[in-house]
Amino acid sequence: MFIFRKKPLFFASLVLLVAFILVSNLPIIKIPLQQVMVLPCRIVSMLTREVSGLIFYHRNFMENRRLKKDIDALEAALARTQEIRLENQRLADLLNFKQKSAVKLIAAKVVARAPDNWTSLILIDKNRLHGIRPAMVVVTSLGLVGRVVDASPPWSKVMLMNDPGFGVSAMAQRSRDIGVVTGTLGSTLLMKYLPKEADIKVSDVIVSSGLTQMYPKGLLIGKVVEVGEEFSGLTKYALIRSAVDLFSLEEVLVMIQ
């Protein structure tokens, strides 16, 4: 026989359950409820991970070792790719400059530097057989580098701007004052024989003046970092930071004229 008084209890429970489900979907109830559940869930899952880590220790150890080897191999491949990307960027810059330039240019790689401290000389992998001759101007996309002093096989010798034997007639782009730029074996160049009344300031751009026949006009040499007066008091000098980093050259362009 059906007990009547149980039915109201059943229906009341059902109604309460439906109401609870509907109400708990409201954000005002849902969010706090979820937040209450977060911490216990985290604790339990952490405990589960630790316990499974202990149980499956050997498997995890072997997988860890394999993954470390994969990481090492990938890091080595990444380093090689990075080097290729950098070389590609440098060659793209050179090619862009070469395409825009009105003169014929030959690209060459720097293979070595002269072994003594009293000259600033690099050896490039192109020579007379490739069309290079002494006195040809050497540049990069950033500016003037130097000139060829010897083109005998198997390589050519290029005297850099910071060699004491180098000299080029140059001018300040802003004031058009003319002087001679020569090397000091360091990272700065010396522009000398500037008139006493020359209007030269720090940060002035120095370019080739074209008065030295072998150097085309307008080749970027560098920027002024210091201005001073010569000991005699008759002329001024300026120290110039070259536009090209002469200590880390890897590729250069030789201007064929």
Partner 1 sequence: MRWWNFIFFILGCTILEMTVLAGMSIFGVRPNFLLIIIVSASLFYSLPQAFFLGAFGGLLRDILSRGPFGINAFFAPLWIFFLVKVAQRISTESLGVRVALVFITGIVYAISLRVVLLSLGQSVVGPGAFFRIAFLESLLTAGLMPLVLKAKVWGR
Which parts of this chain interact with partner 1 (CB under 8 A)? 112-119, 121, 123, 149, 157, 159, 163-165, 167, 182, 184-187, 247-248
Judged by beta carbon, residue 67 or residue 112, the one nearer partner 1 is 112
Cβ 155 to partner 1 shortest distance, Å: 10
Q: Are 181 and 168 in contact (CB under 8 A)?
A: yes
Judged by beta carbon, residue 12 or residue 112, the one nearer partner 1 is 112
Judged by beta carbon, residue 182 or residue 208, the one nearer partner 1 is 182
Judged by beta carbon, residue 164 or residue 216, the one nearer partner 1 is 164
Cβ 250 to partner 1 shortest distance, Å: 11
| Element at 241 (helix H, strand E) | strand 235-242
Place of tokens 């400059």: 97
Cβ 217 to partner 1 shortest distance, Å: 24
Burial of 235 (0-12, 13-18, 19+ CB in 10 A): middle
Q: Are 250 and 109 in contact (CB under 8 A)?
A: yes
Beta-strand pair 104-113/167-172: unpaired
Q: How many whole angstroms from its chain centre is CA 142?
A: 14
Cβ 65 to partner 1 shortest distance, Å: 35
Question: Per the structure block, which two tokens stand in for 2?
Answer: 């059906």
Question: Per the structure block, which two tokens stand in for 169?
Answer: 């007639």
Cβ 194 to partner 1 shortest distance, Å: 17
Judged by beta carbon, residue 101 or residue 184, the one nearer partner 1 is 184
The one-letter amino acid code at 12 reads A
